[in-house]
Structure 1
Amino acid sequence: MATIHRTAKAAWQGTGKEGTGQLSTQSGVLKDARYGFQTRFADGPGTNPEELIAAAHAGCFTMALAFQLQGAGHTPESLNTEARVSMEQEGSGWAIKAVALKLQAKVPGCGPDEFHKLAEAAKANCPVSKVLNAAITLDATLG
């Protein structure tokens, strides 16, 4: 069985509310990207863990759907996915409760029933969907 490893690093200075951190990824796409309380709970400059989970889920699902479509003999012209992560307060902490995937797709030769079946399979089977303990919904539009 093959195993793939990917890494990211976080560094933090200061308290939870006033401190700041930097995130870096193995690939170098993120290098000392700023994050902190303002980027997580307000609209300050920088990124946050939930935004990165949304990006990971959108990317994972979209690639999984491309493979599903390929396996069914279809080549997508375009697949555009937005993932919206919803975090709710639980007692003194927070939890990711839901992810809403919104997909706009152009897939020549693929009918709506087959498309929705393949999209649901991609949602259920992409590795990021499998790791999230959240309700995952899909609004898929074939145009």
Structure 2
Amino acid sequence: MPTRSGSARYEGLGKDGKGWVSTQSGVLKDQQYGFNTRFEDGPGTNPEELIAAAHASCFTMALSFALAGAGYHDGTLETNAKVTIDKDGDGFTITSSKLDLDAKVPGIAADEFERIANEAKAGCPVSKLMTAEVTLTHRLSA
């Protein structure tokens, strides 16, 4: 399976710093982020917005494949994810990712749809990431 990557650069430190985030595919290239985009209304993106987009897209695709696997061949799925970050002592914690789904799947019973949607939510790789092991390697230059 392929490994995907993203990168971030931050110049300056703390509130006065400015950052840029990019993706391997180039869909995002040097998009601005920083304190003002994360905790205020500054132009640019932030980690929680990117996680929300990743979770919404991953879940929606997982549900699409699960429905196709159950024999359904037509439908429209639209998911909005809201990721919340809250103060946690001296730092912050992402406390929730709330998926809100609008679906049209002709011929499916409500209870079957609910079961398949909940299985897709649990099985989506980004949902699983929320409790995944995180590792770090580092180098420090003088």
Common fold by TM > 0.5 = yes
Q: Which residue of the partner structure matches residue 57 of structure 1?
A: 55
- Greater RCO (Cα-Cα under 8 Å, separation 6 or more): 1
Distance 1:4 1:57 in 2: 18
TM-score by length of 1: 0.89
Q: Which runs of 4+ in 1 moved over 6 A?
A: none
| CA offset digits 1:63-84 (Å, max 9, x no partner) | 0000110011112421000000
Please provide the CA RMSD for this pair.
0.8
Distance 1:63 1:125 in 2: 11
- Residue 102 of structure 1, aligned match among 100, 103, 119: 100
Higher strand share: 1
Count of paired positions? 131
Any conservation in 2 of the 1:69–1:76 contact (CA below 8 Å)?
no
Counting aligned pairs with the same residue, the percent is 57
| CA offset digits 1:35-85 (Å, max 9, x no partner) | 000100111100001100000000000000001100111124210000000
- The structure having more radius of gyration, on CA atoms, is 2
SS at match of 1:6: coil
Residue identity matched to 1:86: T
Q: Which residue of the partner structure matches residue 136 of structure 1?
A: none
Distance 1:29 1:113 in 2: 38
TM-score by length of 2: 0.90
- Residue 19 of structure 2, aligned match among 3, 18, 21: 21
Alignment of 1:88-127 (within 5 A): 88-127=86-125
Any conservation in 2 of the 1:76–1:107 contact (CA below 8 Å)?
yes
Out of 68-77 and 52-61, give the one that drifted further: 68-77
Distance 2:45 2:56 in 1: 16
